[in-house]
Structures are given as structure tokens and as C-alpha cells.
Structure 1
Amino acid sequence: MGGPKNTSYKETYLTLDRLKSWLPKDFIAQLYGLQLCGNYGDAMTNPELVNIIKYIKSINPKICITMNTNASGRNEEFWTELGKLFRDEGNILTFSVDGLEDTNHIYRRGTHWKKIMNAMKWFVKAGGRGKWEFLVFKHNQHQVEEAKQLAVDIGLKQFFAKAALGFVNQPITEDGRKYNSWMKVLKDDGQLDYFIEQQDKSLNTNEIKLYLKESGFTKSEEQSIEPDELAKKFNDPKAFHKPRIDKQIIDNKRTLSPYEIELGQTDIHCVAIPKKGIFIGHDGLVFPCCFTASKYYANPSSYEVSQLQDFINGYGTRNISLEYNSLKDIINGPMFQGRWPDNFKSRDIRDKRLITCSLFCGKKTNHEFKKTKDSIKAERSLI
């Protein structure tokens, strides 16, 4: 989606050689599942993706691999090879496509519709098990059933429609128009392009079509990033780019609002612990989950983001990097055995409690995340 340039994110991709050095064979062999889902990137664009999956499956043939992609790139040979690797039960590729040809680009900026459709068809033709995940917004809510039928026609196994995260629930007026629950889409120069709004179930199809005409949604230039382009951009993960911290955002002496007090008081039920899951970034940094990783690489535009970045940088990125440590030493080290659990035990966001953990795993404060999970309507077997 269009937004301000993320100066905290450094584009790299994971190479097969680096993966081999990071993850021992005995670790890969005991894995139940592997999810390829980037916070800021798309595994599809990795030039070595097919070889990486083949390597993992050669060590652990029964592993369940899942992957998310917007599918706006690569050629028939790639999608055919990928389809062959996703034939087995338990392996599934999620096509993240939020609308049809006239609406998908509103949220998925720069995507190429014809490439997406071809990718789905080539993947399925090769025997790949795939599903369509459809984020529902106000501008595409009238297209859910049509998209579901398209998924059936293509031969996908499942179709999911779910509510999107990331809205600001604070009324705002822009150019005489009021928005209650919104997210901004910005141009390349940082200026406002348009607003995306949350689903409105009170509107019928004709009203949504009128809304589309009146909203001034622009279509950015279709992009199709190919692996050769990424290879030229590759940077050494050893050269860490620490996010800058806006210290003025972190004021641990301020008076908390009732909601901020609740963020500290709520019990944390960490989603990563029962599954024994970890998240490994493209640069080798190890986190408990994708939620914490996403905030670390984000622009420091809020107390939540700056707090998480300060928490990581205070310990040192080198100490959670697979470039300098074994995975076993990182998991058994002070960060995972001390700092992360201590944040769960703290009862004050001015102390050790991380807002990110409360928002996603707080028993009484994960409202938006729970709303999204509860909204999922899955057709378990379309075919």
C-alpha cells in the first residue's frame, strides 16, 4: 500500500547459502511447518526461492510449507515449478488479492492484474494447492462472492474473506468529507492520494459503485519486480541499519490514558509460545513473531514503534543475529529467556510492557486482531 518511504527498512533477500549457514540440518529435519510470509516483502521475488524450498524439502519431505504472495510477477516456468512444490497435503500457497481487476490496485498498489491471474492458473495447472485471501474494505465489499466464484473457476482449494487491520478509528474531515475509520494512501512524494475505509455493511452494491466513482481512487503504475532486479539491490545483512528512534516519542514520565493503563494491566497470551514459533527476518534477526518484527523495521512514528525499537536496540541486534550467533544460542540466551518474558510480566507500558505484545496477544486488549480473526469466512473445500 502507498505510504511514506520506510527509512528503517533495508532491502535484502535471503540466499540459499545464508539459509544453510543459519539453520542446521537437524533443526530443519524436526520442523513441523515453515511459513514464508514477509512483513515488507514477498517471497515470490526472491531469486532463489524455488531452490530454497527444494533444499528444505530434501531434508524434511513431510514439512508443511505455507506462503503468502500478491503474485504480481515472475513467469510461467517459475509458477509451474512452485506449483509442483506445493502439491502435497499440508502445503498451501495463499494468494493475497483484495478485489477484482478494477479494485485490487486500490490497496495492493502497483500490482499487475493479468500477471496475478496467470500466476494463479499456472500454479494450479502444475498441481499446486492454493487459496485466495481477500481483505474486505468498503471499496471491494460488493465483490466477495464474484471473487469466490473466480477462485472456483481457477481451481483454488479455498477462499477466505476477512476484515483488514490498520485503520485509524478517529473521525477526520478532508476536503469536506468525513471519514470515521480510515487509512491514508500516500503518493511517492509523501502527499495524500486518497483514503481507504473500513467495510460498511449498511451499503448495497449500487451505493458502493457510486462510492467508487466519487472517491477519486487513482491507479499507480503497474509494477512487476523481477528477481534479477532484486539481485542488483542485494546488501550484506552484516551491515545492519538500525531504525532511528525519535526519543521525544518515548516519555516514560507522562500520565497514561485509561486505555494505556489497560494495555499494561492485561494478561499476555503469547501466540508464539504454544506453537514454539519464531520469526526470522531476511537479515537474520530472530524475533518471537511477525508482529514484533514488523514494528522493529517500521518508521518510528508512534510510541509503540519507538518503544519496540528501543527494546531491541537496547539489547543489541548483533545478539539476535544469525550472522553472529547460532539459533540455539539466541533462543537460550537472555533475550528469549529473559527480556521477552519479563515484558509479559510487567504491568506498565512505561516500564517493560511492550504495547505491541498487548495489542496482539493481550487477553483484554487485542480487539482489532481478534476482530480480524473472527471475521474470516473460509470455504474449506471449494473444489
Structure 2
Amino acid sequence: MEFRESCCIGSSNGWLVFLEHKAVPFLFNPFKQIKIHLPSVDYLLGLKKMERNEDGEYELDYLKKNQRFFFKVCGKQQVRECFIQKAILSGKPDCNENFSVVLLCNNREEIAYHQRGYNSWTVIDVSHPPYRDIICHKNQLYALSDNNSIEVWDLGGRDYVGRIVNKSDIVLPFPYKSHTKGNSLRGFGTSKFYLVESCDDLLLIVRFIGDYVDFDGTLLTEWDLLTETCTQPKICPYKTCFFHVYQLDFDELKWVEVESLNDRALFLGGNQSVSVSVQSFPNCETNSIYFTDDCWEQMEEDYNYGGHDMGIYNIKDESFKPIYEFSSDKIQPPPCWIIPSAMLESQLGQCVASSPGYKFL
């Protein structure tokens, strides 16, 4: 199939989510070659026009908060940065499930969903925008907000006007270790956050990305770039430096640091975050985080770099290794993880069998 005019905005349950250049999304299963059309998101995003001109630029005309904007962007990833930050599914469309497609959009301020059988998108009534991440698990939607709270909605429940019912609002203290580390590295980079369901536990992954990193892993400031000791070919504009992993203790309402994932591996990036067992994926390294580049706001800032920030992180020894060796550091569009739903289903019994569970600090 031809996807030249489309932008991948998510991966979930073995399906890819694409956005066509006229703001019409669709689902695609690369393993079964099935395509499912979805309702247009032009009204949801306030788009009056989204077209590609002869120069390859995207012309955008949209309304936001009663203000009209018109501008041009060069790449499809910039379109994604502007409008849709994440797209996930609550189920598997190929199994005739009553699934929903959920979007984190409009600068992470809004969450919208489309339920199978309907021809529209509905904006969820949220309480604590903007949001850092969303995930679907057991027909419930979890959203992590910037104020560290987690909102939970029941995707199977509706009120009298058909809106999704808010189930709970959990306010949590931010993990002290990550807070302290972030403060000590302030001015060197930014953090990204991911929610991952793993064997019925809810994990929080904190990923620190240095704004400028030497190839030996040393964090640099903009001032360092001006000194004679730093030469441009040795500088990467942004790069992941470390991860912290936590599990939510629902009884104590706090994040507990995880020392080891045992036989699990995590996959993070532009996809719905996934935990897998290396028993089902023998080529995966245990106790590791596989990550791809999802820094949409920085991918077009540098001519030589973009989409390059990917690798394998070992939680035990805090080491990094490449997934593949690339001849170029400008990788557009960036890779996106996709895992066949049948392989994920085969792991359900393994979660019960892995009795040791996680090791905590």
C-alpha cells in the first residue's frame, strides 16, 4: 500500500494509526493487510485546511480558541507535533471487538475518542491538562497529567448523553529520585514520561533526554558548544541519558522504584508503550528498555539529526547499546514499534507464571 502522503501517528495492538494529508485518519494492520477508515479529525483539531503544496510543504489553516492561524510546515512530523501527539487503541479491530481509538491531541491539552460503530470523535471531559501520556488497559483509559495525577475513565461506561464516565482521579507525589535528578540536571535537558501496563501492574517510566550530549555520554550546555574543547562533529543535539522505572502502589498511592524487570522488556516511543516477556520474544534482552525517538518538537531543528535517538537500555548496569547501526543520524520518519497482537496474547499465562514479580529498591 502507498503511504507517501500519510503520517504514522501511533501503534497499538498490532495496528498502525495513520493520518492522511487531508486530516483523515485510518488504521492499518501490516500483518493482515487490512485497512479501516476513521472519521475525519478536521473539526476536532479546528482544521479548515491541511494540504500539501507543490513544494512539499503542508499548508495549515485552523482555528484554536477563537483565533485563526495560517502557516506552513515542511515535514509530516511537524504536522504531528502541532496536532496529534499520540494515538492508541482500546482493543483489536480484527477480532470484532468493540474497540475505541483514543487521541492525545492539541498540544496534549485534549483527549478524544472514536468508538467503533459511530461516525464522529468525542472530546473527553478532562480535569488536569496537559497530559504526558495515555494508555488503554482492560477497557479503561489512563492519563498521566503534568501535575502527576492519573485520571481513569471507563471506556465501556457512558452517561446519559453518551460521554465516557470518569472513574477516578489519583493524585500522586512525583518520585523523589527523579525529582532530585531532574533538578540537578536542570538546564541540560528535558524529561519524557510513559505509562506501561505490565502483568496487570502500572509502571511509570521517566526518560531523561539531554539537549546536547557528547558522544561519550557527557551532558553539555550551549555554553560548552562555544568553547574550543568541543568540536561540532562530536556533538549530538539531543540524546537519551538514563531511565527511571516505578510501579504504582494503589494501596499506598505512591510510585515505588523498580530495580529489575526480571524476564520483561519494555518498548517505548511513538507507540502505545508495551511490556513483553523474553520467553515469547527470545531475541529480546531481558530487563531492558527498547526505545525509539519521539521528540517531535526537536526532530526538524538540526539538519544532520532527527529521529536518531533510539537504542537498548539495560536497567541493571545502566548501559546503552544500539538497536541497529545506521549510516545516517537523520532518520525520517522515525521508527515505530509494532507487535503482533497474537504474540502479546500468548504472554497472558506467562504473567501468572513469573511468580518472583518485580524487585523493588
TM-score, structure 2 as length reference: 0.29
Larger radius of gyration: 1
Higher helix share: 1
